[in-house]
Amino acid sequence: MKTQKLPVWKRHLPNIITWGRIAAIPAVMYFLYPSNHQDTQTELWADFWATTIFAVASISDFFDGYFARIFNVETRMGMFLDPVADKLLVTAALIMLIPLDRISPILVVLLLSRDLMINGLRAVAAGEKMTIQASWTAKWKTGAQMTGIPFIMKRALFDFNILTAGQVLLWVALILSVLSAFDYLKAFINRK
């Protein structure tokens, strides 16, 4: 039986979703910009929109991979672009939260340093025609970041202080970052 060719939109949907995540970054940055936090009312709305856009963009991370698998359209471009989109979104949010005094700059530097190190390692591996797949600890790290950051953006929900919960999740993400860095190093050292 002859297989039917997929419609164009199905072939490109995963990458479109990923590009949408990247396109959301300027909006998140705009709403986290310190001038949008001058008075309480403006700050509440800015936090609401930053949190909402970040959360929707984070959730889209599941859907691009899901559609790539069910439509069987996993591509090298998608494999490259998906983690880059995640890192760009998270990096932008973390940096924008520093001047709002909601996150420790030390934590941000540590998280971003690990990501730069792993990206360098992956680049060397790619030069050797090797792909290092994301480990489960790396996926959990990303999940902890993408859950913790909206908590830090919103700070309070129904009179509950979720800022502290978000900060704790990011410290957990740092621990997972270190563990996943060892996973990547081990995969790179044991390469064939």
pLDDT the model gives residue 28? 97
The string of pLDDT tens digits covering residues 92-121 is: 999 999 999 999 999 999 999 998 998 888
Pairing of strands 160-161, 156-157: antiparallel
pLDDT for 26 equals 98
Q: What is the pTM for the complete model shown?
A: 0.87
pLDDT given for residue 3 in this prediction? 42
Q: DSSP states of 32-57 as a string? A: HSGGGGSSHHHHHHHHHHHHHHHHHH
Q: Which residues of the chain have pLDDT under 50?
A: 1-3
Bridge partners, 160 (sequence order):
157
Q: Give the whole-angstrom CA distance, residue 64 versus residue 19.
A: 10
